[in-house]
Structure 1
Amino acid sequence: MDLGTAATGEHLVGATVLVPLGACEQHGAHLGLATDSLVARAVCAQVALRLADRGGKRRVVVAPTLEYGASGEHEGFAGTVSIGTEALRLVLVELVRSVRRWCGPVVLVTGHGGNAEAVASATRRLRWEGHDVAWTSCAEPGWDAHAGRAETSLALAVAPRSVRPDRAVAGALDPLPELLPRLRAGGVAAVTPTGVLGDPRGASAAEGREHLAALAARVTAQVLAGDVDEHGRLVRPETAGVPG
């Protein structure tokens, strides 16, 4: 169920709410500024369907996507709009406090890695207040870090009109841990003039659909297990021993 189009009613009381968190930031010349938001939204929609298919015992709604995030590392590129970590943290705290007046568990699903600090901080605060809230991300081990093959494939699967494959070029190919010192000091522009971390060439919608299914299966398993770490982050299935 889409919360943005749902009418007020008892069917919403106690429902699990999935909140997609995105960003407005550069993704090279071949992907749109809203890529992270589109992916997070698609993952949440698929998770809601999977949870609803489990006998209909769990009511699930997908909240409107939070389109702005903490994207300061991308501000060297035109089009990026960042509200910063502290503002995002405050927004999430107030959002969850409000929605928890009528809903059950809240799961924050971020499509942008730069949101993690704000999401973790907000979740720790909210759980301390007694709220049933946790978070997870759309990142997967082995994927290139930003606007590479995996993310481009996902965009081709969920919003093909937002992708311009003819403009796809490789960016920084060094492993992310090796890039982090320069990234932290000067942002993405300090390590790649294209704004890409990885190589988007070879991406396909078919590969994107496989990635989306894998993400949805993993997040569904996380929600069902409900195990969290000290930051309120849902434990990955392979860590928690949950098949996914």
Structure 2
Amino acid sequence: MTLTQHGLGDLTWPDIPDKPMVIVPVGSTEQHGPHLPLDTDTVIATAVTAAVADAVSLRTRERVLVAPAISYGSSGEHQSFAGTASIGFVALRFLVVELVRSLSAWAGRVVLINAHGGNVAALSAAVRQLTAENHDVAWLPCVTEGGDLHAGRMETSLMLHLRPDAVRPERAVAGDMRPLADILPALKAGGVRAVSPSGVLGDPTCATAAEGQRSLERMVEDALRRISQGAVHHDGMLSVDGERATERIPA
């Protein structure tokens, strides 16, 4: 599948089908260590969204549209690194609310697929508000088992699969390897730099493109399961049997 088959931005208004599902990738523009590009989260969210749109279209025989990605997120924890461009909680929440209100004038269900953990609070608040306004909207995470926190093995593997030309493997260095619970107080107080001068939380040095392909496939499978079987949790996230997965979204 290519985005031109489903990309909202490629269409003219008469091309829009009646009440289509619209999926919006949500990423960020922030540091991902010395070896990954600033748009890593957006690249991953867009890839998952494109594959999900293709699969849902095949299953339902209805066209699913991929909206242009939201490429600025809530990334204050990365602000001490050059290149980070964060719009913060309030602006992201407002952006999502206004975007979904606009899409809902002609679309059916709106699903936001998020690849940055810092966006969760804003997405949850926005979707709760939109649901109260009777919009058909939910969000879901790009998650897979065994991932590290930020710019580590999982994200580096994904980028080696999706955009190998943008990865600088010779710069990859292991960062803080501790679980989130252990570093959270320092992270909240001083941001990522307080626990990792390189900006890496994990170990990217063993990443492979093959592992990235497998991770992408698992993310797509998880997203499809949530869309087909899930219910909207109180935080606006599509979940199956009340499961919680937000802690596995890369930071």
TM-score (norm 2): 0.92
Partner of 1:12: 17
1:137 Cα deviation after fit: 1.1
Code of the aligned partner of 1:42: A
Partner of 1:144: 148
1:114 Cα deviation after fit: 0.2
**What SS is found at the alignment partner of 1:143?**
coil
Code of the aligned partner of 2:207: A
Q: Which of 208, 213, 217 pairs up with 1:209?
A: 213
Partner of 2:249: none
Asked whether 1:221 is paired with 2:225, we answer: yes
Residues 174 and 203 in structure 2, CA contact (< 8 A), matched pair in contact too: yes
Asked whether 1:230 is paired with 2:242, we answer: no
- Stretches of structure 2 that go unaligned for 5 or more consecutive residues are 1-5, 245-251
- Stretches of structure 1 that go unaligned for 5 or more consecutive residues are none
Distance 1:236 1:156 in 2: 30
Residues 233 and 242 in structure 2, CA contact (< 8 A), matched pair in contact too: no
Q: Which of 17, 27, 42 pairs up with 2:32?
A: 27
Q: Percent identity?
A: 49
Partner of 1:183: 187
Q: CA RMSD in A?
A: 1.5
Distance 2:161 2:240 in 1: 24
TM-score (norm 1): 0.94
Code of the aligned partner of 1:196: V
The number of residues matched between the two structures is 239
**What SS is found at the alignment partner of 2:37?**
coil
Asked whether 1:131 is paired with 2:135, we answer: yes
Q: Which of 49, 53, 56 pairs up with 1:48?
A: 53
Deviates more, 1:10-19 or 1:121-130: 10-19
Deviates more, 1:220-229 or 1:192-201: 220-229
Residues 78 and 193 in structure 2, CA contact (< 8 A), matched pair in contact too: yes
Partner of 1:64: 68
